[in-house]
Structure 1
Amino acid sequence: MARLAGRTYVHSEVKDIIVSAYKDLEKEQPDKVYKYAETGFEDGGRFRPHKTHRNGLSVDFITPVIDKNGKSVHLPTSPLNKFGYNVEFDANDHYDGMYIDYEAMAAHVVALHQQAKQHGQDLWRVIFDPKLQPNLYKTKYANYLKDNIEFSKNRSWVRHDEHYHVDFKTPCE
């Protein structure tokens, strides 16, 4: 649906970083599944309701989840839940038999950053619910995240629990 609506454009460098990060995750996290949500319009026009996503340097990724058996599964996205954006996790990081997989999310952010650096680029920031961010620092990636990733400390206009927003720092004409 996002492709048909024209909401899947990314800068060519960002695309290469994302694809390379997924290849790294295939080796490091072979049992985990990942899903992206939205990117931007090719023409760089207004991307409602976002303030960002206009130049192909911002990407929303659906928060990785595990089911009650600990298996990595995709968070359901459909028009009925606004393609995942209408999902709300409870105080126990739970939604409909699924739990946030902080280890998988942290691994993904690290892989994106490492690949950005290998491509001569960087990440500007990651937006994820500030109340949930401490859980990322309980993963084996905690030190890397603390030393290398700028997480937004302010609550956004939407919660950012069902997805995390990554802004890439890539020079662009």
Structure 2
Amino acid sequence: MSKLFQLVLLLLLGISCSVFGQGQSSDKIKVYISGNKENNTPSTSSGTVSGGTLINGKLFPFQGTNYQYFDTTSYINNRAFLNDKIRTVVIASYKHLEKEIPDRKFFIMECSNKNGGKIFPHRTHQNGLSIDFMMPLVKGNKVFYGLDTIGSSHYWLDFDNEGKYSGDKSISIDFDLVAQQILSLETSARNNGYKIQKVIIKTEFKSLIFATPHGKKLKQSNIYLVNSLTPLINSLHDDHFHIDFEILK
């Protein structure tokens, strides 16, 4: 089933077209951020990632030194909220990566609704502990950002089982950097009383990740990358990887 067909199917099921909007209006973002001033009360994540709520969720910054939220329309439609501890985890991880890879920019994708709960078309993302991270790309062994700023339509890009972009086989996923990000996020999470519960990624990519230098370290860790997914969910996790966090027990 093609990503385009999946998009049409989701729209027919009644998902708001605003979810798939694009645009990078700085004025809209400034107005939205000013209207979502947060308090100092800690966040509370209740229930599970697939059936929960978020109280006092905190808005993720639209951009930082080496990272950016991927889509304006998604952002101003309340889809970039997190548990405050998880927001801290991600920002700390980006600061760590900035030291290791000073010139690399990263893109964060959808998080949770302002108050948690269902957030179409995701099956999880309900309690502020789930995040989608955009796959880092290269073209001819050089960093490539050409597909990173197309907005929510990024979710519908197609990559084959080798991580090559269907529209241009010279563009491919940097699997070593995927592993490096996951390892950094796990370290940051544990420093803040959390850990990665699971990583959802196209299962055909696992062997390609584990074959890289950072991937070998990832394979030796206790971080769980899913072993199997339904064909639909598997095909939807080729342009990004999804992480669910949980509190350390």
TM-score by length of 2: 0.63
Deviation at 1:112, TM superposition (A): 0.2
Which consecutive segments of 4 or more residues in structure 1 shift more than 4 A?
Answer: none
Which is richer in strand?
2
Deviation at 1:72, TM superposition (A): 4.2
Name the residue aligned to 2:84: 12
Name the residue aligned to 1:166: 243
Identity %: 30
**1:61 aligns to 2:133 (yes or no):** yes
Equivalent position SS for 1:154: coil
The answer as to whether partners of 1:32 and 1:72 remain within 8 angstroms in 2 is no
Structure number with higher relative contact order (C-alpha < 8 Å, ≥ 6 residues apart)? 1
Name the residue aligned to 1:149: 223
The separation in 2 between residues aligned to 1:45 and 1:91, in whole angstroms, is 32
Which is richer in helix?
2
Name the residue aligned to 1:2: 74
The answer as to whether partners of 2:107 and 2:148 remain within 8 angstroms in 1 is no
The separation in 1 between residues aligned to 2:90 and 2:147, in whole angstroms, is 19
- Number of residue pairs matched by the alignment: 169
Name the residue aligned to 1:140: 213
The separation in 1 between residues aligned to 2:146 and 2:217, in whole angstroms, is 25
Letter in 2 for 1:31: D
The answer as to whether partners of 1:59 and 1:165 remain within 8 angstroms in 2 is yes
Deviation at 1:90, TM superposition (A): 2.4
Equivalent position SS for 1:2: helix
Deviation at 1:92, TM superposition (A): 3.7
Cα RMSD for the two superposed structures: 1.8
Distance 1:104-1:75 versus aligned 2 partners, 3 A rule:
farther
Name the residue aligned to 1:40: 112
**1:130 aligns to 2:203 (yes or no):** yes
TM-score by length of 1: 0.89
The separation in 2 between residues aligned to 1:133 and 1:164, in whole angstroms, is 11
The separation in 1 between residues aligned to 2:200 and 2:162, in whole angstroms, is 20
The answer as to whether partners of 1:64 and 1:74 remain within 8 angstroms in 2 is no
The answer as to whether partners of 2:162 and 2:205 remain within 8 angstroms in 1 is no
Structure 1: tracts of 5 or more residues without a match:
none
**1:103 aligns to 2:173 (yes or no):** no
The separation in 1 between residues aligned to 2:87 and 2:109, in whole angstroms, is 14
**1:113 aligns to 2:186 (yes or no):** yes
The answer as to whether partners of 2:93 and 2:188 remain within 8 angstroms in 1 is yes
Equivalent position SS for 2:99: helix
Select 1:71's aligned residue among 131, 143, 146.
Answer: 143
**1:86 aligns to 2:156 (yes or no):** yes
Deviation at 1:74, TM superposition (A): 5.6
Structure of larger gyration radius: 2
Deviations 1:78-108 (A, max 9, x none): 35xx431100112442213421001111110
